[in-house]
């Protein structure tokens, strides 16, 4: 019997990944003027290119899609050019990188919206959560419900953003359908009380997410399209009364589209894995391509879940912040550096690109 390991190559669509370890999306709030990623971002991602796959920080598809201060976009030429420096740095070190496409929906603040506009949402229900704006965490603003005739424009923004990502040199894109942002808001009935074709039934609440996925597949190809979902995570004040039925249906539709992976937050984002009953194995069985498991994974848990064939790839988040060479540290059982929580969001090189690799610490 062949024993799988986290450190063996893995075929993802048309890509050969050097290992099964994924760097999860990590918001760092360091974009420059015009929401453009700068030279520091290229250095940061390049330092972490030994991951089998890097998934970029969440990146807004439009001005309206922004919900946090100093997060990058992918809707202007300057942003495309900035991201091209990142993909060049990653590819120069043999890495692979997808861009995460983001519309925050109601998780925003009027100070971050153009002309102080209200954030948009499936329904005019204010989330009991905070966002990072004006150099601190503040309550999100009251949203307005999107009109039916605005939804094709949202889908088109995702499509254009996917095309821009490929123009910037990314190997593919990950649609952000998780953590209480716009597509997740539509999917979950705690945030969506619409009575039109995008609300009510499981099928209707899934509609926008599936339309976005179909548009992105049509634009860049199924082998370059992944999606992140979080069926039971209460992140950003979302809830679902029928999570199993909802996400079994969503994954069936994604499987039919042939997208290359689903990236699943198992449990509460950054919290308990057992926050609510849910059969993640059902999603694994329904989806024929790659299953990326996320949430609370360490070497021991990832190794055991791989041996049980519960997932193909494993996403690590915060450990990558302080350990640019996380793959090597895991492989050699080297100690992991601790994250400085005061430098996670915003700032410059401190706490971003100045965490050393263990070889540098050893003087090698």
Q: Tell me: the pLDDT tens digits for 115-133? A: 999 999 999 999 999 999 9
Q: Tell me: the pLDDT tens digits for 194-212? A: 999 999 999 999 999 999 9
What are the strands, taking DSSP E only, across the chain?
10-12, 15-17, 21-23, 53-60, 97-102, 120-121, 130-133, 136-139, 144-145, 172-177, 225-229, 261-265, 290-294, 313-316
Q: Tell me: the pLDDT tens digits for 149-184? A: 999 999 999 999 999 999 999 999 999 999 999 999
Residue 361, pLDDT score: 57
Does residue 242 contact residue 206 with C-beta atoms inside 8 Å? no
Q: CB-hemisphere CA count at 13 Å for 360?
A: 9
CA 64, 66, 71: angle at the middle one, nearest 5? Answer: 145
219 membership: H or E segment, kind and range: helix 202-220
Domains in the chain, start-ordered, CATH in brackets? 10-317 (3.20.20.70)
Does residue 133 contact residue 109 with C-beta atoms inside 8 Å? yes
State the catalytic residue, choosing from 181, 249, 291, 345.
Answer: 181
Q: Tell me: the pLDDT tens digits for 239-267? A: 999 999 999 999 999 999 999 999 999 99
Question: Residue 3 above 80 pLDDT?
Answer: no
Task: Tell me which of 55-64, 130-139, 163-172 is least confident.
Answer: 130-139
Residue 364, pLDDT score: 47
Question: Residue 1 above 50 pLDDT?
Answer: no
Residues whose CB is less than 8 angstroms from the CB of residue 100 and which lie 6 or more positions away in sequence, other chains included: 25, 55, 56, 57, 58, 59, 173, 174, 175, 176, 228
Residue 232, pLDDT score: 98
**181 labelled catalytic:** yes
Q: Tell me: the pLDDT tens digits for 301-345? A: 999 999 999 999 999 999 999 999 999 999 999 999 999 999 999
Residue 229, pLDDT score: 98
Does residue 357 contact residue 324 with C-beta atoms inside 8 Å? yes
């Amino acid at each position: 019997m062949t024993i799988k390991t986290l450190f063996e190559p893995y075929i993802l669509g048309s890509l050969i990944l050097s290992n099964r370890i994924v760097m999860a999306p990590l918001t760092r709030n360091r974009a420059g003027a015009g929401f453009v990623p700068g030279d520091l971002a290229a250095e940061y991602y390049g330092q972490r290119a030994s991951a089998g796959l890097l998934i970029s920080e969440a990146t807004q598809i439009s001005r309206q899609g922004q919900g946090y201060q100093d997060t990058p976009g992918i809707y202007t030429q300057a942003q495309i050019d900035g991201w091209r420096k990142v993909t060049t740095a990653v590819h120069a070190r043999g890495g692979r990188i997808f861009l995460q496409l983001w519309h925050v929906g109601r998780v925003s603040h009027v100070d971050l919206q153009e002309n102080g506009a209200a954030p948009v949402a499936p329904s005019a229900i204010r989330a009991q959560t905070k966002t990072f704006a004006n150099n601190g965490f503040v309550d999100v603003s009251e949203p307005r419900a999107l009109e039916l005739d605005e939804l094709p424009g949202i889908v088109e923004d995702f499509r254009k953003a996917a095309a821009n990502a490929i123009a910037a040199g990314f190997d593919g894109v990950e649609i952000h359908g998780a953590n209480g942002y716009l597509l997740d808001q539509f999917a979950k009935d705690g945030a969506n009380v619409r009575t039109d074709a995008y609300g009510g039934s499981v099928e209707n609440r899934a509609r926008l997410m599936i339309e976005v996925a179909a548009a992105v597949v049509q634009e860049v190809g199924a082998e370059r399209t992944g999606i992140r979902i979080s069926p039971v995570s209460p992140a950003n004040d979302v809830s679902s009364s029928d999570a199993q039925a909802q996400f079994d249906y969503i994954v069936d539709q994604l499987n039919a589209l042939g997208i290359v992976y689903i990236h699943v937050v198992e449990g509460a984002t950054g919290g308990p894995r057992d926050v609510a009953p849910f059969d993640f194995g059902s999603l694994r069985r329904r989806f024929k391509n790659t299953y990326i498991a996320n949430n609370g994974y360490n070497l021991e848990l990832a190794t055991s879940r791989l041996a049980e064939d519960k997932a193909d790839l494993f996403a690590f988040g915060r450990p990558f912040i302080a350990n640019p060479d996380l793959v090597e540290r895991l492989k050699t059982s080297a100690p992991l550096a601790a994250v400085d929580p005061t430098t996670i969001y915003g700032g410059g090189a401190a706490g971003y690109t100045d965490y050393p690799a263990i070889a540098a610490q050893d003087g090698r």
